[in-house]
Chain A
Amino acid sequence: MGMTMTQKILAAHAGLKEVKAGQFIEADLDIVLANDITGPVAIKEFQKMGAERVFDKNKVVLVPDHFTPNKDIKAAEQCKMLREFAVDQKIENYFEVGEMGIEHALLPEKGIVVAGDAVIGADSHTCTYGALGAFATGIGSTDMAAGMARGKAWFKVPSAIRFELTGKPAKWVSGKDVILHIIGMIGVDGALYKSMEFMGPGLKNLSMDDRLAMANMAIEAGAKNGIFLVDDKTKEYLREHKNKNKAFKKKIKIYQPDKDAVYDETYVIDLSKIRPTVAFPHLPENTRTIDEVGDIRIDQVVIGSCTNGRMEDMKVAAKILKGKKVAKNLRLIIFPGTQHIYLECVKNGYAEIFVKAGAVFSTPTCGPCLGGHMGILAAGERAVATTNRNFVGRMGHVESEIYLASPAVAAATAVMGKIYNPEDL
């Protein structure tokens, strides 16, 4: 029986010729990741396990990105603990404020994850790296601790859903719209315990930033991982983002699903038919096309996050905001994913466009996405966000509302003060 792409990566990392859905395996890990929320818990568990040194100082990555720059004393204590552990364990890939970015924007940019890797991260959006052709999945702090100690993690081999992509998306339609459309179709547990594997002739019409946004939200359909077949665009991206640290040898390995791979289901998705899509409160599956939205006034727009804080997202926002002003009494907060993206925005004039339009242009942080800091909502307020979750209270008060959308819809909304179709600007 043939294996899916995910199963092939897992089999290789478990030292097995073949794995089957439902089988329990223990796999070797290429990268083990944590942040300032999950890292401190993992460090405590690591110590309780009696572990002294991490299994490989080059394979553990620590990124203080959630409540940084430190939002309060408790957050500062957590970051301090992460920093001291990184220094003590001589962890190369620890990124201090000033060089850090939002972890899932940062790791691909730095070439820390490549095709064929098996990655666990104590952050649910670790599945982002599937865009690079890696197996990457979110786990909790105890799994993270075990991963740091042994370089291994246990998995139940997942079955998979195949997404066969065809066609080319329209001008203002991005990967974000595609993934919101898919989650709307299959639901927030539509891929529970499974892999989502993306392939087909439409793949070539999706940029790497589109794919990273899509793989990022696989978890929002309940998936264990989302993964894209590796093509020329992936290879070009990996070439451009080669890790510069020589001690940190990364080997690209390309896995293909077997021709007779068994999939639970196959969806054929014509990208040319997808409309700009918005997820209404309070679940990512509550999607409507922009044509069905109606008149919804907005108090705050947030553009950024591990889903949509990349260069193309900044570019589309700048294109729409150029020479325009943010609607009266609306707050627009733009936070790029990494320092590199931030600098590019400064260099090519996007930062000036944002500030002149009346936006806040922030340092990279996860802050507003999870209601941490830098843009909390009051009772009764409504936000359009390019982030990934619109759960009750996610961005602030339990009586606030979040509408998830693409950077194009978000920027158009910021200008018009209500959820707006960028095609109509």
Chain B
Amino acid sequence: MGKVFKYGENVDTDVIIPARHLNTSDPAELAKHCMEDIDADFVSKVKAGDLIVAGRNFGCGSSREHAPIAIKAAGVSCVIAPTFARIFYRNSFNTGLPILECEEAAVRIAAGDEVEVNFKTGEIRNITKGEAYQAEAFPEFINRIIENDGLVNYVKNNL
């Protein structure tokens, strides 16, 4: 369970982690600058387990895996949006950042709401509003990657 940080549509990877910080790939270092260009207070306010809820096409732009890495390392437990940009979508599963596609949740959940997510069932519970929303279940193929705890182990087990 965590508190929600809410953002609009088309949150791009340049605001999630600006390129000026891409001269490192250290997760802790990247986390210090997470969301810096869209929300300068994010890093000082975010607590382990908090969630990001945003509008459609979250993570558009560059292929930098530094974006999901920075979000995960900042302590975010899940990102919820109606749709994700496709490279960000892949990168999230591959690096073990849980994401859920759910339009209703993205619309209904407000900044600061307490939210709980069941990744097995895809159920998103809004404790503050006393509501629940159902996200799309993961495709079976994605589940296999998740079961292997990310693509690194999936490949390790299939080399």
Interface on A for B, CB 8 Å cutoff? 24, 37-38, 40-41, 44-45, 48-51, 66-67, 71-72, 74-75, 78, 121-124, 126, 138-143, 145-146, 149-150, 154, 156, 188-189, 192-193, 219, 222, 224, 283, 370-372, 389, 391-394, 398
Q: Could you say which residues of chain B place their CB within 8 Å of the CB of A149?
A: 155, 159
Expressed in whole angstroms, the Cα–Cα distance for A50 and B155 within the complex equals 9
Given contacts A189-B56, A371-B19, contact A124 B150 (CB under 8 A): no
Once the chains bind, are A124 and B139 in contact (CB under 8 Å)? no
Which of B10-18, B43-51, B116-124, B129-137 makes up part of the contact surface? B10-18
> Any chain A CB within 8 A of the CB of B57?
yes
Query: Which residue of A has the minimal Cβ distance to B24?
Result: A74
Once the chains bind, are B159 and A38 in contact (CB under 8 Å)? no
Q: Could you say which residues of chain B place their CB within 8 Å of the CB of A24?
A: 139-141
Query: Which residue of A has the minimal Cβ distance to B20?
Result: A371
7 nearest A-B residue pairs (beta carbon):
A74-B23, A140-B91, A140-B65, A142-B94, A189-B57, A24-B141, A370-B19
Indicate which residue in B57, B64, B95, B141 contacts A188 across the interface (CB closer than 8 Å). Answer: B57
Indicate which residue in A37, A139, A140 contacts B22 across the interface (CB closer than 8 Å). Answer: A37
Q: Could you say which residues of chain B place their CB within 8 Å of the CB of A154?
A: 141
Q: Could you say which residues of chain A place their CB within 8 Å of the CB of B98?
A: none
Indicate which residue in B18, B57, B150, B151 contacts A371 across the interface (CB closer than 8 Å). Answer: B18
> Any chain A CB within 8 A of the CB of B37?
yes
Expressed in whole angstroms, the Cα–Cα distance for A41 and B61 within the complex equals 18
Expressed in whole angstroms, the Cα–Cα distance for A136 and B150 within the complex equals 23
Indicate which residue in B10, B87, B152, B158 contacts A145 across the interface (CB closer than 8 Å). Answer: B152
Once the chains bind, are B57 and A139 in contact (CB under 8 Å)? no
Given contacts A222-B57, A371-B20, contact A124 B87 (CB under 8 A): yes
Q: How far is the CB of A228 from chain B (nearest CB, A)?
A: 20
Interface residues of B in 75-129 (CB under 8 A from A): 83, 85-87, 90-91, 94-95
> Any chain A CB within 8 A of the CB of B60?
yes
Q: Using A71-B23, A370-B14 as known contacts, list a sample of 7 further A-B pairs with CB atoms less than 8 Å apart, ordered by residue number in A.
A: A49-B156, A67-B23, A142-B94, A192-B85, A370-B62, A391-B15, A392-B38
Once the chains bind, are A45 and B62 in contact (CB under 8 Å)? no
Interface residues of B in 23-74 (CB under 8 A from A): 23-25, 37-38, 56-57, 60-66, 68-69
Indicate which residue in B10, B20, B38, B87 contacts A372 across the interface (CB closer than 8 Å). Answer: B20
Once the chains bind, are A40 and B25 in contact (CB under 8 Å)? yes
Q: Could you say which residues of chain B place their CB within 8 Å of the CB of A398?
A: 37
Q: Could you say which residues of chain B place their CB within 8 Å of the CB of A192?
A: 57, 83, 85-86
Expressed in whole angstroms, the Cα–Cα distance for A393 and B39 within the complex equals 12
Expressed in whole angstroms, the Cα–Cα distance for A37 and B69 within the complex equals 14
Q: Could you say which residues of chain A place their CB within 8 Å of the CB of B38?
A: 392
Once the chains bind, are A49 and B57 in contact (CB under 8 Å)? no
Q: Could you say which residues of chain B place their CB within 8 Å of the CB of A48?
A: 152, 156
Q: Could you say which residues of chain A place their CB within 8 Å of the CB of B151?
A: 142-143, 145-146
Given contacts A50-B156, A140-B94, A371-B20, contact A38 B63 (CB under 8 A): yes
A-B contact pairs, 14 of them (CB 8 A): A44-B25, A48-B156, A74-B23, A121-B63, A140-B94, A149-B155, A149-B159, A192-B57, A193-B86, A283-B10, A391-B15, A392-B14, A394-B14, A394-B19
Once the chains bind, are A146 and B19 in contact (CB under 8 Å)? no
Expressed in whole angstroms, the Cα–Cα distance for A126 and B69 within the complex equals 21
Q: Could you say which residues of chain A place their CB within 8 Å of the CB of B150?
A: 142
Query: A74, A140, A370 — which one has the most chain B CB atoms within 10 A of its CB?
Result: A140
Q: Could you say which residues of chain B place their CB within 8 Å of the CB of A283?
A: 10
Once the chains bind, are A222 and B85 in contact (CB under 8 Å)? yes
Once the chains bind, are B37 and A51 in contact (CB under 8 Å)? no
Indicate which residue in A72, A139, A156, A189 contacts B139 across the interface (CB closer than 8 Å). Answer: A156
Once the chains bind, are B24 and A189 in contact (CB under 8 Å)? no
Q: How far is the CB of B123 from chain A (nearest CB, A)?
A: 24
Expressed in whole angstroms, the Cα–Cα distance for A203 and B7 within the complex equals 40
Query: A224, A283, A393 — which one has the most chain B CB atoms within 10 A of its CB?
Result: A393
Once the chains bind, are A150 and B159 in contact (CB under 8 Å)? yes
Q: How far is the CB of A136 from chain B (nearest CB, A)?
A: 12
Given contacts A41-B65, A122-B63, contact A392 B15 (CB under 8 A): yes
Once the chains bind, are A37 and B64 in contact (CB under 8 Å)? yes
Expressed in whole angstroms, the Cα–Cα distance for A386 and B19 within the complex equals 18
Once the chains bind, are B62 and A124 in contact (CB under 8 Å)? yes
Q: Could you say which residues of chain B place their CB within 8 Å of the CB of A37?
A: 19, 22, 64, 66
Query: Which residue of A has the minimal Cβ distance to B66?
Result: A41
Q: Could you say which residues of chain B place their CB within 8 Å of the CB of A71?
A: 23
Q: How far is the CB of B152 from chain A (nearest CB, A)?
A: 5
Q: How far is the CB of B69 from chain A (nearest CB, A)?
A: 8
Expressed in whole angstroms, the Cα–Cα distance for A273 and B95 within the complex equals 45
Expressed in whole angstroms, the Cα–Cα distance for A123 and B64 within the complex equals 7
Q: Could you say which residues of chain B place their CB within 8 Å of the CB of A40?
A: 25
Q: How far is the CB of B34 from chain A (nearest CB, A)?
A: 14
Q: How far is the CB of A221 from chain B (nearest CB, A)?
A: 10
Once the chains bind, are A140 and B63 in contact (CB under 8 Å)? yes
Expressed in whole angstroms, the Cα–Cα distance for A347 and B19 within the complex equals 34
Given contacts A24-B139, A38-B65, A393-B18, contact A143 B159 (CB under 8 A): no
Q: How far is the CB of B82 from chain A (nearest CB, A)?
A: 10
Q: How far is the CB of A119 from chain B (nearest CB, A)?
A: 13
Q: How far is the CB of A281 from chain B (nearest CB, A)?
A: 12
